[in-house]
Structure 1
Amino acid sequence: MNWLLVVAGAMVGAPLRYLTDRMVQARHDSVFPWGTFVVNVVGCAVLGAVAAGAASSQVRLLLGTGLCGALTTYSTFSYETLKLAEDGALGLAVANAVGSVVAGVAAAFAGAAAATALWG
């Protein structure tokens, strides 16, 4: 039955990732992959909150594994970073790699701190 929670979360996370990516990227006239950056950072914050909060195992499966697993995307982040480097935008590729890791970890800590403050 746990797999249904993962599927339900992923059914929301995957389209949310696609729609958010398209919406964010449409607002920027840049080759920098802002859409992927945003979904990954938001997903890190949500996962940090779920991991630190007093969430049940079912909520962790639904939101952590399902929603965040489908919302965030390491493969697209890696591909977009590689593509930037291949296209000669090495500075943007490095900024994407470093910025994504730093912002993602910071967002996870912030999500965890927020959950701890709210739910103790």
Structure 2
Amino acid sequence: MLNMFVVGFGAAFGGMTRYLLTLYLKKKWESDFPWPTFLINISGSFLLGILLSSNLASFLVLLLGTGFMGGYTTFSTFKVENIELYRHKEYKKLAAYLIFSYGFGLLAAYLGVLLGSHF
């Protein structure tokens, strides 16, 4: 039961962080490309790679990995943005978003794992 509250606490702060960062990025960077979600998911992949490859206590992995990073990254928004690009016939942007999100996401996670294994 305690683990559930630890994950929920982390997820609440991760979601709030994502929301505030999205607002900030949209204000500073006007674009019809979904940069805020892209940057959040790439940074989340990197940070989760660090967390999961570090020798952290299971409590911290639940709080920061499952909780915070689960609330911070946003797979559902990513999918809805893909659908919107498709519906608006923005096929080049859709292809770029998919390729860069998956490609850089994997690369960021891998780099995070490499970095995290040194802790």
Into which bin does the TM-score normalised by the smaller protein fall? over 0.9
TM-score by length of 2: 0.94
Question: What fraction of aligned residue pairs are identical, expressed as a percent?
Answer: 33
Work out which structure has the larger RCO, using CA pairs closer than 8 Å and 6 or more positions apart in sequence.
2
Once residues 21 and 7 of structure 1 are traced to their aligned partners in structure 2, the CA distance between those partners, rounded to angstroms, is 21
Letter in 2 for 1:112: V
Q: Tell me the equivalent position of 1:12.
A: 13
Q: Tell me the equivalent position of 2:28.
A: 27
Letter in 1 for 2:16: P
* Aligned partner of residue 112 in structure 1, secondary structure: helix
**Contact 1:6 / 1:65 at 8 angstroms: preserved in 2?**
yes
Once residues 14 and 116 of structure 1 are traced to their aligned partners in structure 2, the CA distance between those partners, rounded to angstroms, is 27
RMSD: 1.0
Q: Tell me the equivalent position of 2:113.
A: 112
Q: Tell me the equivalent position of 1:75.
A: 76
TM-score by length of 1: 0.93
Runs of 5+ consecutive residues of structure 1 not aligned to the other structure: none
* Aligned residue pair count: 118
Letter in 2 for 1:111: G
Once residues 15 and 92 of structure 1 are traced to their aligned partners in structure 2, the CA distance between those partners, rounded to angstroms, is 28
Q: Tell me the equivalent position of 1:53.
A: 54
